[in-house]
Structure 1
Amino acid sequence: MGKTYGYARVSTKNQRLDRQIRNIEDYCKDRKIEKIYKEKYTGTKMGRLQFQKLLAAVSSGDTIIFDSVSRMSRSADEGYTLYMQLLQEGIDLIFIKEPHINTSYYKQMQAKKMKIASTGKESTDRLISAIVDAITEFQNEETKEKIRIAFEQSEKEVQDLHIRISEGIKTTQRLNESLPEEQRKQIGQKKGSTFQTKKSIIKKEGIRKMSKDFDGDMKDKEIIEILEISRNTYYKYKKELLMEENT
């Protein structure tokens, strides 16, 4: 039996890997994990040092476990290409949150072929065989499309979040123009106020949507794990959001 490896990645140095590592370890309760490669990396390109070390270490029969497809790649084209390459090399891929695109599922679809008893007539058997082959090929292509869609969806979620944030800022700016000066919301930085970065805006939007203290129904601990930020940063952002609502 081949070896099992894990891979966990976050996009910034301040994010935590704990949740991903715990999910991989929980998934592997009945099997030995050779090593979990850990990476703090910004960007979507494949030039990740630990990931490259992992790819160099695996061989046919080995398994790589990811918490999510987005940990392998947020770029649809690169992710799909690498997936098919590793599949051809005999390496199994497991995505805890997207089991429907595990390589085991793909292999099952490839292996599924209708068994039809011979009719005794060569011409009829050839026709039936051709039909079965066409159906099998269709199933294979359909499975490939599911894999591509999973990577495309991961990439689109990030792009959509950035668009929503940009649109929200523009909407606030437009509404401000119609309000008296004393009622306008602060978009830029005031002297002595909290500096807003692109990262803080994204994280705050997540907190506002998920926290039971705002528009969601989730607990603080759950949100900290999902957003992959420290407790101190989370409560800092939450305090700032509460202050904004009370002004």
Structure 2
Amino acid sequence: MRYGYCRTSKPKQSIERQIRNIKVAYPDAVIVQEVFTRTRLDRPEWLKLMRRIQPGDEIVFDSVSRMSGDAKEGFAAYEELYQKGVNLVYLKEPHINTETYKKALENNIQLTGSNVDYILEGINRYLLELAKEQIRLAFEQSEKEVQDLHQRTREGIETARLNGKQIGRQKNSIVVTRKSIESKEVIKKLSMEFDGNLSDVEIMRLTGLARNTYYKYKRELRDENKETVAAE
């Protein structure tokens, strides 16, 4: 069996992009999807999949962050599934697919039966650790992205407070919330009007923002940019 695992952290976030990416690469994948806010692996649909998965099966992820945002748990689950004979595929990080890992383990330098074998054994151990380190780094990067987003959100709220902006709802004022800060980060990074290459429709689908809310955030971002330029 080949499964495609898709996850979002919030109900309003669109999961369609993940499903589409997996289906384009693997049309026969059986999609397993859920909304779960934790970075840990004790997620209901994930646990069901773990009970169902068999040696020789395959799980496809759009990215490593969909599997786990916790580096230690993610790497442990990767090794457990690998040892069980389950193939793991990450569309955005193919260098840590289990097939790549397997090749690294199989491509050991053959021992010669001579005095240089202890050197060759050391090289083999180094290559194995190098392969493992690549996997660990991918999960650590995923965890760091989650932590960075939370940190930027906290800093954004604190900056708004210090600047006298209303934290909460007030007529004719900019409402600063965790959602607005996170959404604006995505818009600034991905919108063609700023630093990205996605259209408005694509970003609305990605973030799950309503049309009016999306354009309100864009307008506020443009106003903030004007204020920054004027201050300079």
Residue 246 of structure 1: how far off its partner (Å): 7.2
Does the alignment pair 1:136 with 2:115?
no
Query: Which moves more between the two structures, 209-218 or 43-52?
Result: 209-218
Q: State the partner residue of 1:196.
A: 176
CA distance in 1, matches of 2:169, 2:5: 42
Residue 237 of structure 1: how far off its partner (Å): 2.8
Q: TM-score, normalised by structure 2?
A: 0.85
Q: State the partner residue of 2:18.
A: 20
CA distance in 1, matches of 2:225, 2:86: 51
Does the alignment pair 1:111 with 2:111?
no
Report 1:1-247 matches (<5 A): 3-29=1-27, 32-33=28-29, 35-115=30-110, 125-171=113-159, 173-174=161-162, 176=163, 186-189=165-168, 191-192=170-171, 193=173, 195-225=175-205, 227-232=206-211, 233-242=213-222
Decide whether aligned partners of structure 1 residues 140 and 195 sit closer, same or farther in structure 2, where only a CA change above 3 A counts: same
Contact 2:166 2:175 in 1 (8 A): no
Residue type at the aligned position of 2:85 = G
Residue 109 of structure 1: how far off its partner (Å): 0.3
Unaligned runs of 5+ in 2: 228-232
Q: Secondary structure at the match of 1:196?
A: coil
CA distance in 2, matches of 1:114, 1:190: 65
Residue type at the aligned position of 1:206 = V
1:33-64 Cα shifts (integer Å, max 9, x gaps): 2x210111111122211111111111111110
Residue type at the aligned position of 1:90 = G
1:86-108 Cα shifts (integer Å, max 9, x gaps): 01101110000000100001100
Deviation above 6 Å: which 4+ runs of structure 1? none
CA distance in 2, matches of 1:163, 1:62: 38
CA distance in 1, matches of 2:160, 2:175: 17
Residue type at the aligned position of 1:210 = L
Query: Which moves more between the two structures, 96-105 or 154-163?
Result: 154-163
Residue 201 of structure 1: how far off its partner (Å): 1.2
Contact 2:157 2:177 in 1 (8 A): no
CA distance in 1, matches of 2:196, 2:75: 34
| Percentage of pairs with the same residue | 44
1:191-240 Cα shifts (integer Å, max 9, x gaps): 31454321221111221333233454542234335x43245343343344
Q: Secondary structure at the match of 2:115?
A: helix
CA distance in 1, matches of 2:189, 2:92: 21
Residue 158 of structure 1: how far off its partner (Å): 1.6
Contact 1:17 1:228 in 2 (8 A): no
Residue 165 of structure 1: how far off its partner (Å): 3.3
Q: Secondary structure at the match of 1:127?
A: coil
User: How many residues are paired up?
Assistant: 225
Decide whether aligned partners of structure 1 residues 215 and 91 sit closer, same or farther in structure 2, where only a CA change above 3 A counts: closer
Residue type at the aligned position of 2:119 = I
CA distance in 1, matches of 2:53, 2:46: 11
